[in-house]
Amino acid sequence: MIEIRNIKKSFGEKVVIHDVSSKMESGKTNLIIGSSGSGKTVLMKIMIGLMDVDSGSVLYEGQDITKMDEKQLKELRMQIGMLFQGSALFDSKTVEANVMFPLDMFTKLRYKEKLARVNEVLERVNLKDANKKFPAEISGGMKKRVALARAIVQNPKYLFCDEPNSGLDPQTSLVIDKLIKEITTEYKITTVINTHDMNTVMESGDHILYMYQGHKQWEGSNKDIIFSKDEKLNSFIFASDFLAKAKEAMQEAKNTPANK
């Protein structure tokens, strides 16, 4: 579990995070959502330890990352997997070499052991036999799956995903959402996802933190969203007429006598 307590962050005189607290539980997909400038990206960087706080705490299983020295931070980061927005694959390396990269950097495993682990995670993300392909030879969805395999190759306790569906078509986005959710549950990972994608919110949002102008505006699950009366949240989630009507239909269905 990751807990953030009373996080405050400013750049000069501009306050970008206002006293935000939340808990991200293991085995669940924890989403941070909000419009551009809401503070969600800054909050994620703070949680990973890439940005200092003005005040507040970030607790990993009770240990405060804001008080860790470099050695402790390095040890913690060994337990963190990261799925970057643009996949961030090395164009000159094969799929196999891309996934093996963290093992090369941070472990002393023999090549045979590393290869076995790479093959294991590639099979888990449905990319068996893709080892020798290069990023230029595979689709955007496959690149995301390679990046996800690389993120979990060291068996992390924590997984951070920055806009995992960016640049993907809706069908492929659903595949990635399902895969992340399955891996999160299967390995009991604390997964934190920064996203704009409403399909991800509605399909994968076990826990959702909605940021608005640096404040925690709303918190709950994807099931709670349908019945939320928070106007700012509703304007963000159900911005289109189609989604607004879909929400009304779901509320009506819930309130019919047969469903009570």
Question: Using CA of residue 37, residue 41, residue 44, residue 46, what is the dihedral sign?
Answer: negative
Q: pLDDT tens digits for 23-51? A: 999 999 999 999 988 999 999 999 999 99
- Tell me whether residue 148 is in a domain: no
Q: In what order do the strands lie in the sheet with 14-24?
A: 14-24, 2-11, 55-60, 63-64
- Tell me whether residue 121 is in a domain: no
Dist. CA 99–CA 121, nearest whole Å: 9
- Tell me whether residue 75 is in a domain: yes
Reply yes or no on whether the pLDDT at 260 is more than 60: no
Q: pLDDT tens digits for 183-199? A: 999 999 999 999 988 88
Q: pLDDT tens digits for 208-230? A: 999 999 999 999 999 898 888 89
- Does the pTM exceed 0.75? yes
Provide the pLDDT for residue 180.
94
- Tell me whether residue 181 is in a domain: yes
Provide the pLDDT for residue 51.
93
Q: pLDDT tens digits for 126-185? A: 998 899 999 999 999 999 999 999 999 999 999 999 999 888 888 899 999 999 999 999
**Smallest Cα–Cα separation from 187: which of 63, 79, 46?**
79
Which letter does DSSP use for residue 154 in this model?
T
Provide the pLDDT for residue 86.
85
CB 25 within 8 A of CB 189: no
Maximum Cα–Cα distance for the chain, whole Å? 63
- Tell me whether residue 42 is in a domain: yes
- Tell me whether residue 96 is in a domain: no
CATH number at residue 248: 3.40.50.300
Please work out, in degrees rounded to the nearest 5, the angle formed at the alpha carbon of residue 211 by the alpha carbons of 49 and 209: 75
Count up the domains in the chain and report the number.
1
Provide the pLDDT for residue 250.
64
Provide the pLDDT for residue 240.
63
Structural domain including 11 reads 2-79+156-259
- Tell me whether residue 165 is in a domain: yes
**Average per-residue pLDDT in the chain?**
91
**Higher confidence at residue 247 or residue 57?**
57
- Tell me whether residue 115 is in a domain: no
Residue carrying the six token digits 């050695």: 71
